[in-house]
Structure 1
Amino acid sequence: MTKTINASGVGNPINRVEGHLKVMGMAKYASEFPVENKVYGQGINSTIAKGEIISIDTSEAEKLKGVLKVITYKNATKLKTFDEEMPELATDSIAPVLQSNKVHYYGEYVGLVVAETFEQAQYAASLVKFEYKKDPSAVIDFEKSKSKAYTPNNDSNYSRGNMEQGLSEADMVVEQTYNTPIEHHHPMELHAVIASWDNGKVTAYSSQQIVEDAIVAISGTFQIPKKDVRVISAFVGGGFGSKLNLDRHVIMAVMASKMVARPVQVTVTRTQMFTNTNMRQQNEQKMRIGSKKDGTLTALSHETLSHTSTTQEYQEPCGMVSKMLYKVANNEVTYKLIPMNIQTPFAMRAPGEATGSFALESAMDEMAWKLKMDPIDFRIKNDTQTDLHEERPFSSRLLVECLRIGADKFGWKDRKPEPRTNKKGNWLIGYGVSAASRNSPYQKTHAKVILELDEDKVFATIQMDATDIGTGSYTIIAQTASEYLKIPVEQVTVELGDSNFPITPGSGGSWGAASYCNGARAACENAIKTLKNNKNIAEDEEVEVAELLKKNQLTKFKAEGMAEPSAEFKKYSVFSFGANFCEVWVDKDTGMYRIERMVNVGAAGKILNPKTAYGQIIGGLTMGVGMVMAEKTRVEPNFGNFITRSFADYHVPVNLDLANIDVIFLPEVDKIANKMGIKGIGELGITSVAASITNAIFNATGKRMRSLPVTPEKLIEAGLEEGVTA
């Protein structure tokens, strides 16, 4: 629960309404709820990539003071298991764990120790001895396993026109392969849960992005009614997609609570965040682009090779952007997956767009170079107001405006088209650009408003099971209620993240702001409408809420509302668009480089709060910088464990890595998107950032970086592209 502060209404850059709770340590995250009689669980991880457990010795751990239970497949509660082989991983998938002696990847949970204290549980876990029979057929090397790739059976492959004919009509063809590595989400808050089983009823304080889907997953895994499950996720300390689905530590905590008859807290360690939560797939993306001499695209093909686990299927939709961003009649997008003995990957911020746009926008820059055409002019030449993939017009599309306004703000006119010609001492200076797009979903959302009259003041409480993953949900919902009830924002309380509240789609996919705020709007409008109807007051008559309550002789009134996409919405493609500009300085002798400036321009509908929106873009840009400069999860090729297992070896950007950043939001009115004109922005900020940086590196050095991350070694070893003068 948070009390709001500061000024009223949407569009104002007010401070976060929950900010004071966070800085005072009063905002409760999953592991911080004061649950009586709580004990602690510590997961135990496998040390082989594939095989089976042939013996377990728990005796030493069980003798330890404070240890209540050691749970393995031998004594675990029987759970629902998959009905089919290799089911697709979804946000509401069941999560069976400790159900057999089979091991499918290094780090898979093989046990859980429950003890009175966290320290006792950790130490006892180290005393449990497992003996394994290794299976030498484990698949852990991406490069050596390409022959095992298969085409997913989910109708994701797509084509229009005739790709080969389009290439034959081209005067210029670019055919290149781009590689992105495994990445991990690593939110500040570790995955954690406090779970209790009480006579078949489950309560879980769990760090989840989607409360309703967590309930579906728990009830489905334990085969109990949904009504007997309650999930509370009041504050989430970052997710980036890693907390969209329910991971197995939650199921183990619920199981343990049932077995020891006490609430159990399980916290995933930072090292386990590599092996026991999801990750972004490694992707090998082959691009083929054909163009006329005048810059008209004739063909665009995007082939992605990725991996999934041997138990569940997930495919990052890297070709999503290539289907719709540019006007090209002949288009093909295909996917193949390699089953590997690594855990199942899943969505990471802008899944598909972040990685796919790196390949697409790099290839577009390569084509512009071959054509001797300005990269911005080339993109504008192939702009379209119709989504050719969906065969629908865009509800609004200001991509050209983003590119032109960004170019002016950035000083693109000062760019020297010929690589290696802009120098300052030992530095080679380059400018890069990329276009960005992100689908802006809008999903059915329910909300409740409770109005209370205190003398002449109305206080409102908004309730929904929406989550705030650090993006500012509390704030923009409070501003929405303030706007539609016409009361000061400090008189609004927002309560989120409890499955006892009305159902929402949760946080993810850039649908949160549009869905939550329109749900809150609908509840407020319904309250006012009902109060007016009760007293035969015309709907268009302006009457303050306090006066309406008085006329109805009420001091408290509740109303619910539901918002969902309109019939018109379904006739259009609704996207946010943007452009990234980057200036990079590269030391010509060492290959060391720094990002000097970044300009990001976005057209994302109504900006509810410029301050929180700015924070979202900064976060996205930072993650884009991480893709290029540092982030890579390394798999040990012999054993299948991750070499990177802490922040000591999995590097992320820090302040000194970041540039001077300008963020520009274009005014955009799009009432087709939804009644409030809101579009998603959280994932637009990371989309194609990587390409803008590597394109700038090419402009500086004449060297194409097609494999991320870009290290000084790669830059030193790379040769100049054809046509570049040393």
Structure 2
Amino acid sequence: MKTLNETGVGKAIDRVEGHLKVTGMAKYASEFPVENKVYGQGINSTIAKGEILSIDTSEAENLPGVLKVITYKNAEKLKTFEEEMPPLWPDVIAPVLQTNKVHYYGEYVGFVVAETFEIAQHAARLVKFEYKKDHDAAINFEENKSKAYKPTESSDYSRGNIEQGMSEADVKVEETYTTAMEHHHPMELHAVIASWDNGKLTAYSSQQMIDANVTALANTFQIPKENVRIIAAFVGGGFGSKLNIERHVVMASMASQMVRKPVQATVTRQQMFTNTGFRQFNEQKMRIGAKKDGKLTALSHDTISHTSTTQQYQESCGFVSKMLYNVANNSIKHRLIPMNLQTPFAMRAPGEATGSFALECAMDEMAYKLNMDPIEFRVKNDTQTDLSENKPFSSRLFVECLRIGAEKFGWENRKKEPRTNTNGNWLIGHGVSAASRKAPYQKTSAKVIIELAGGEPTATIKMDATDIGTGSYTIIAQTVSEYLGIRVEQVNVEIGDSEFPKTPGSGGSWGAASYCNGARAACENVISELKNKLNLAETEEVSIGDLLKRNDLTKYEATGTAEPSEEFKKHSVFSFGANFTEVWVDKDTGMWKIKRMVNVGSAGKILNPKTAYGQIIGGLTMGAGMVIAEQSKIEPNFGNFITRTLADYHVPVNLDMANIDVIFLPEDDKIANKMGVKGIGELGITSVAASIANAIFNATGKRMRSLPITPEKLIEAPIEKQIET
């Protein structure tokens, strides 16, 4: 993997795997050359609730090229849930085709295996199902609110007395905000090639968290974990949808065992609306109280959302509200409604992306009522202690993000009163929002192999990490380059194989910190071990090539493991940021556009500004998508998604985006980890929607509390009463 770059971390180098991708040499899940491969296609239910009365597979089975039609009648018996409504997580079992019950529209009810992809798709349409439909399917959110329940004890949090805090307030904001259902839609479709050999399962599968997913597959099929191997060398995007084992992986694995051939299954774009998770609809009630001087007296954040009727997932929208601001009286509540929809799951910055919309819009509303600048109001309520954990922050450049962003954006030119900044028919508005995202760091192991060839050392680093388009290959290579003192082009990175040393996988913004510290530990160990063989002091500087030569070695390997320190556990570790947006709104049509954006982040040591910039751009685009058009709509009579393709599920394109400035603040947080690395992938989307909504208010005087903000909503919305100055 050669690239034109410099040595070590902190450099904006090109992706080391880039040429493999642009030349088509990077192998994704469905592209591995597996011999004797056949193809599988899932069949989806056409009712939202009920049971299968009969199945006619004869026409499909008689089609030339069809090898097997699998339904609950002949499927392999898998491990099923031992408790009602178990939580969905990457290491949790994924039983499928075990019963005649149907729980949501689109649930898998069958799987066809054929010699070609086209035959499998055709045969899937020939299988006929007769259903007994249950007309009490829960598919309407409002009609089923009475069924809302408290998912876990940790779903609620409180400190102080929220009612007392509200009674002490001079000014109050009590509003409800809603965020739409969204789907992940990575460019690479979910896919797998599954095969068995002497009781051992190998799955080339598009997954984010390999070790946890191995556990899920092993437990589903009730086989030893060491008998399962997952390979995910390249993953074409995930955004949370590939964190767990989805049912197509299990069906392909089951089918492979039954037909005794490798089976490839690719989830269609339409099936990704019903079978690979989504972000649920969230209704969030905010109550904020403050004194006239801007000091917060109370903040409560109550969320009602939904899960499936078979598994439980809660998006923690109130997480940001319990730690971001200095408020003594705080209350967070989460409630879930069981509905006949697929189980929702984590989507980029789950909880933060949605919860920060409600929180940061409410903070803007409060600042306006107080006649305070929105930035000054936030600064007034800054804290260096995470009051929800009663721990100091390891570092917190929150105020600096706001101040520096304001200067870069030209915030001093913002007009406080809405509808006063115009250009012809355009109303111009400026909005701000604060961002925060937990910066986790998890135990990670790696192996490094040093070799001398032609007198020059090379290094190969191995771990079961994944690269979901975020740049894992590159930052791991830069880390090895840094700690071994060799050029990046002398480093070979091998990841995405469950047979390699264990990592937590990609998700939760822990990838960069965990992977690179694992690589660091392995590199430090290989140097230490080679020095010990020569009785050299740890402080003596000797190149890795000379260490091999002096030990009369041409090859040497070492492993290393990195994990959080005791100091880490005593602190609250977060990344912080601020978003600034300028919007232009046509006062007659309600059409609006983003003119420019400024994003400021404090996320520890930036390993590669180029890949980090890409992460922020991606986050900003997804955040803008929440506001512009993204929403998955349910057909109210049948429970299927009306939005079923990218033709009607609209995502932002280049013309929707703006001139963007991204600023990374220098931050040296060695409490976070030895390298001072923090996650940034999810910080980039957090509170973006709020900055846009706040800018729209500044332009129009209309508070938009429901996403997406469409032109018709803007036209119909009333102008809010202006404050007295």
Normalization by structure 2: what TM-score? 0.99
> Match of 1:450?
449
Matched, 1:278 2:263: no
| C-alpha contact 1:460 1:491 (8 A) present in aligned 2 | yes
The equivalent residue for 2:146 is 147
Residue 119, structure 1, aligned to residue 118, structure 2: yes
What are the residue-to-residue correspondences of 1:180-579 with 2, within 5 Å?
180-579=179-578
Query: Is the 1:386–1:394 contact (alpha carbons within 8 Å) kept by the matching residues of 2?
Result: yes
The C-alpha deviation readout for 1:603-631, integer Å capped at 9, x for no partner, is 00000000000000000000000000010
CA distance in 1, matches of 2:266, 2:70: 16
Partner Cα separation in structure 2 for residue 550 and residue 658 of structure 1: 54
Preserved CA contact (<8 Å) 1:523 1:562: yes
Question: Residue type matched to 1:95 in 2?
Answer: A
**Deviation of residue 455 (structure 1)?**
3.1
Q: Distance in 1 between matches of 2:4 and 2:483?
A: 17
Shift of 1:199: 2.3
Distance 2:721 2:330 in 1: 27
Give the unaligned 5+ runs of structure 2.
Answer: none
Q: Secondary structure at the match of 1:484?
A: helix
Instruction: Give, in angstroms, the shift of residue 456 of structure 1.
Output: 2.3
- One-letter amino acid of the structure 2 residue matched with residue 170 of structure 1: A
Q: In structure 2, what is the equivalent of residue 130 of structure 1?
A: 129
Confirm or deny: 8 A CA contact 2:40 2:111 kept in the other structure: yes
Report the AA paired with residue 596 of structure 1: K
| Partner Cα distance (2:632, 2:199) in 1 | 40
Contact 1:3–1:493 (8 Å) recurs in 2:
no
User: Is the 2:241–2:276 contact (alpha carbons within 8 Å) kept by the matching residues of 1?
Assistant: yes
Counterpart amino acid of residue 275 in structure 2? N
CA contact (8 A) 1:3 1:492 kept: no
1:684-723 paired onto structure 2 within 5 Å:
684-723=683-722
The superposition leaves residues 402-448 of structure 1 with CA deviations (integer Å, 9 ceiling, x where unpaired) of 00000000000000000000000000000000000000000000000
Residue 42 (structure 2) aligns with = 43
Which amino acid counterpart does residue 164 of structure 1 have in structure 2? E
Distance 1:550 1:148 in 2: 71
SS at match of 1:343: coil
Identity across the alignment (%): 78
What SS class does the counterpart of residue 155 from structure 2 fall into?
coil
Task: State the match for 1:58 in structure 2.
Answer: 57
1:682 corresponding residue in structure 2: 681
Structure 2 residue matching 1:17: 3-state secondary structure: coil
Residue in 2 aligned with 1:663? Answer: 662
Q: 1:555–1:5: structure 2 CA closer, same or farther, 3 Å change rule?
A: farther
Match of 2:586 in 1: 587
Q: How far apart are 1:197 and its partner, in Å?
A: 1.6
Q: Is the 8 A contact 2:371 2:723 kept in 1?
A: no
Q: 2:439 is aligned with what amino acid?
A: S
- Kept in 2, the 8 Å contact 1:198–1:258? The answer is no
Q: How many Å separate the matches in 2 of 1:49 and 1:230?
A: 35
Structure 1 residue 167 and structure 2 residue 166: aligned? Answer: yes
Output the amino acid matched with 1:718: A
Q: Map Cα deviations across residues 17-73 of structure 1 (whole Å, 9 max, x no partner).
A: 000000000000000000000000000000000000000000000010100000000
SS of 1:568 mapped into structure 2? helix
Q: Give the Å deviation of 1:722.
A: 2.1
**Do the aligned partners of 1:297 and 1:382 also contact (CA within 8 Å) in 2?**
yes
CA distance, structure 1, for counterparts of residue 398 and residue 699 of structure 2: 25
How far off is 1:91 after superposition?
Answer: 1.3
What are the Cα deviations for residues 685-710 of structure 1, in whole angstroms up to 9, with x where unaligned?
00000000000000000000000000
Question: Deviation string for 1:320-367 (max 9, x for gaps)?
Answer: 000100000000000110000000000000000000000000000000
Q: In 2, distance between residues paired with 1:5 and 1:331?
A: 52
SS at match of 2:517: helix
Residue equivalent to 2:87: 88
Q: Answer whether contact 1:4 1:491 (CA < 8 A) is retained.
A: no
1:137 positional shift: 1.1
Show structure 1 runs of 5+ residues with no match. none
- Secondary structure in 2 aligned to 1:155? helix
Q: In angstroms, what is the RMSD of aligned CA positions?
A: 0.7
Q: Residue 719 of structure 1: SS of its match in structure 2?
A: coil
Report the Cα distance in structure 2 between the residues aligned to 1:178 and 1:304, rounded to whole angstroms.
10
1:136 Cα offset (Å): 1.0
Count of residues in Structure 1 that have an aligned counterpart in Structure 2: 724
2:107 aligned with 1:98: no
Q: How many angstroms does 1:155 deviate by?
A: 2.0
What secondary structure, in the 3-state scheme, does the structure 2 residue paired with 1:572 have? coil
Q: Which whole-Å CA distance do the structure 2 matches of 1:724 and 1:569 have between them?
A: 45
Partner SS for 1:538: coil
Mapped to 1, the partners of 2:283 and 2:199 lie a distance apart of 46
In structure 1, the partner of 2:626 is 627
Aligned twin of 1:26: 25
TM-score w.r.t. length of structure 1? 0.99
**Residues 76-114 of structure 1: CA distance to partner in whole angstroms, max 9, x if unpaired?**
000000000000111111000000000000000000000
Q: Secondary structure at the match of 1:196?
A: strand
| Alpha-carbon distance between aligned partners in 1 of 2:388 and 2:202, rounded to the nearest angstrom | 44
